[in-house]
Structure 1
Amino acid sequence: MIGFTLLIFKLLLTNNISLLIAPKMIRFIYFTLFICLILGVLLIIRGTSGKDHSYHCDCDGDHTYPSSFGKSVFLYLLFIIPITTGFLFSNNVLGSSVAMNRTIILGASSQPPKQNKTTNYIPKLPSSSISNKTTTSTTTQSVLDNQPEPLTQKEYDALKNKILNANSINIDDSQYVNIMNIIQDNLNALIGKTITTKGFVYREKEFMQNQIIVARFGITCCVADASVYGMMAKGEVAALPKDKWVQVTGKIEQTQFNGETIPVLKIDQLSKISAPQQPYVFDSGIKIE
């Protein structure tokens, strides 16, 4: 328990906890840290008291601790291994190797998407549906702990009008999913406008050499539920390695992929960048007041 306490404390201290869970879940991690510390201290006191503790219940099962050395080693390794690996191994940002086995949210269409072996292309981003849940703000001073609140319908409409009336659109992290929704739901009205986006390089097997997806992982609670959001881009990208972070500016067009009409950026400018401190984006959604 003390080991897990120290591991959680290390993740919080280094802000690497944001690579594992959404910021709105961090409040529960602080609670877990406190509980693990209290239980660990109580267990140390009990284990060093010299008293023989025995427990009885009404069932027929045997609940005694393992008596042999081998069983004891096996039992404690179940706890020691994850604690040790948590301290020794560096944290890894999700990339192409994970994306190929996840849902890719690419295009907008009224028709159901076709499927291939590794990827489901979903025609509409899930956050465009209205949520009946309200959340409290978890915004902190640290960029790593910043997660936007859900927009009201009025705020979403204002964002939509701003994008539709703009000649140049920057897909920023704070409203990434909502902006992607607006672009894909109003693709015909945005053809020819300039868009800037950033993400890591991802390719499907059937892509041509001049095609990539500028992708981002979006998470709701933790990396286990991560989905891949992205926009296709075309240009001189054959030499770009997968998982390289890039910022792309180009004119928006539309193309057909897997039987769906999706947006594609014709690249005017491309620059290699470092991965941001917070590589993931969060679906803020729309709330009902």
Structure 2
Amino acid sequence: MRFHFLQAVRAFILLAFSVMLLKLHFTGEMTKFINPKYESLSQSASVLFLILFIIQTTRIWTAKENSQHHHCHHDSHDHNCSHDHGVSPFNTKKLIAYVIIVFPLVTGFLLPAKVLDASIADKKGGLAVLTNQKSEKEKEEKPAPNNSQQEDPVINGDLVDLSRIEELVYTKDEYNQLIQHLLQSSTIKMNDDIFSTYYDEIQTDIEKFKGREIELKGFVYKEEGLEQDQLVLSRFLITHCVADASIIGFISELPEASSLKENTWIEVKGVLDTTNFNGTELPIIKITTWKKINEPKEPYLYPISVKIL
């Protein structure tokens, strides 16, 4: 029997990828990298890597006569045997390829999952992004809410579940009911599952919500140009994965703002008003009560998907 070292390395890499993905799912850290709606795809990938690993193990040991048979016979000018069977000499090109493949495994196993924070918000543009979002939202057409005057969002006699963090898929009727609920609520509760939807509505037409009470949580982000008693109460919105994460949040007015460090998580209650930042009208929260909180287990927000029936 002949042992093929590179085939063994390939098998180990496949197994390592499978184990890493399973580990991220088991610890719950996968949602720090991807939108939860893609978790099933990631789980499928871990199973696929495991199947490929099992297939690859059959190539690690071969009978000597078989290994000789698979060698390319250059003397016979056999041009049909020009591909790599995993027994060709190791070279620089292969080394670079293996380093690129192994790098995410090393970082995945050795480095803890890091949550995006204020430093990343600054690199992504900070308040410049928020002002751009405001301009873009003003140009977008939003689905029109129905004319129901119900106090609670009701679909066919049943309350719409506002805590479907795992699903976040609504019919158009349910979506319209959520918007109607927002328009009718005296206190706007920015729960994680509907945060981005309510945020878009508030950004689009601030005057509709001016003077309303609002409750939300986020991390502290500060930027040059803000007053001493101002900060940005921020969250990261992930559509697909952390690579497309975008910052959303509200400028907030708080006397103790200067004493709060960036990345501190706080939960606040306040009143919505408007302010002008770099020539753009933005919503501002005049905080009435607040408290420090621990970073949530699920720090990111995910957009609602509207199902077209």
Q: Distance in 2 between matches of 1:128 and 1:282?
A: 20
**Counterparts of residues 233-272 of structure 1 (less than 5 Å):** 233-236=252-255, 237-272=257-292
1:225 matched to 2:236? The reply is: no
Choose from 104, 115, 121 the match for 1:93: 115
Deviation at 1:80, TM superposition (A): 3.1
Segments of 4+ moved more than 4 angstroms: 53-66, 68-75, 124-130
Query: Which of 65, 73, 79 matches 2:101?
Result: 79
**Change over 3 Å in CA distance of 1:58–1:269 after alignment to 2:** farther
Cα offsets for 1:136-190 (capped at 9, x unmatched): xxxxxxx9971411341x3333223322222211100111111112223332132
d(CA) in 1 for partners of 2:140, 2:60: 50
In the alignment, structure 1 segments of 5+ residues that lack a partner are 107-115, 131-142
Question: Of 24, 34, 51, which aligns to 2:37?
Answer: 24
The residue aligned with 1:3 is 16
Residue 155 of structure 1 is matched in structure 2 by: 174
Deviation at 1:29, TM superposition (A): 0.9
Q: Which residue matches 1:187?
A: 206
Matched residue SS, 2:260 = coil
- Alignment CA distance shift 1:157-1:71 (3 Å): closer
Cα distance, 1:145–1:251 mapped onto 2, change above 3 Å? closer
Asked if 2 retains the 8 angstrom alpha-carbon contact of 1:150 and 1:286, the reply is: yes
Amino acid at match of 1:121: N
SS at match of 1:160: helix
Deviates more, 1:250-259 or 1:51-60: 51-60
Match status 1:275 vs 2:295: yes
* Structure possessing the higher radius of gyration over alpha carbons: 2
Partner of 1:121: 132
Q: Secondary structure at the residue paired with 1:241?
A: coil
Deviation at 1:218, TM superposition (A): 0.7
CA contact (8 A) 2:236 2:245 kept: yes
- Cα deviation 1:110-155 (Å, max 9, x = unaligned): xxxxxx6x8762224599756xxxxxxxxxxxx9971411341x33
- Structure 1 position 58, deviation (Å): 6.4
CA RMSD of aligned residues (A): 3.0
Partner of 2:186: 167
- Are the counterparts in 2 of residues 127 and 283 from structure 1 also a CA contact under 8 Å? no
Aligned length: 265
Q: CA deviation at 1:44?
A: 1.7
Separation in 1 of the partners of 2:80 and 2:222? 57
Closer, same or farther in 2 for the Cα pair 1:254/1:145, shift >3 Å?
A: closer
Q: Kindly indicate whether residue 221 of structure 2 is the aligned counterpart of residue 202 of structure 1.
A: yes
Aligned to 2:16, the other structure's residue is in SS state helix
**Larger relative helix fraction:** 2
Corresponding residue SS for 2:261: coil
Deviation per residue, 1:29-60 (Å, 9 max, x gap): 12211111111121122112344245899699
Q: How far, CA to CA, are the matches of 1:241 and 1:127 in structure 2?
A: 35
14-23 or 79-88, larger mean C-alpha shift: 79-88
Which has the higher relative contact order, 1 or 2, with Cα contacts under 8 A spaced 6 or more apart?
A: 1
2: distance between equivalents of 1:70 and 1:199?
48
| 2:56 paired with 1:43 | yes
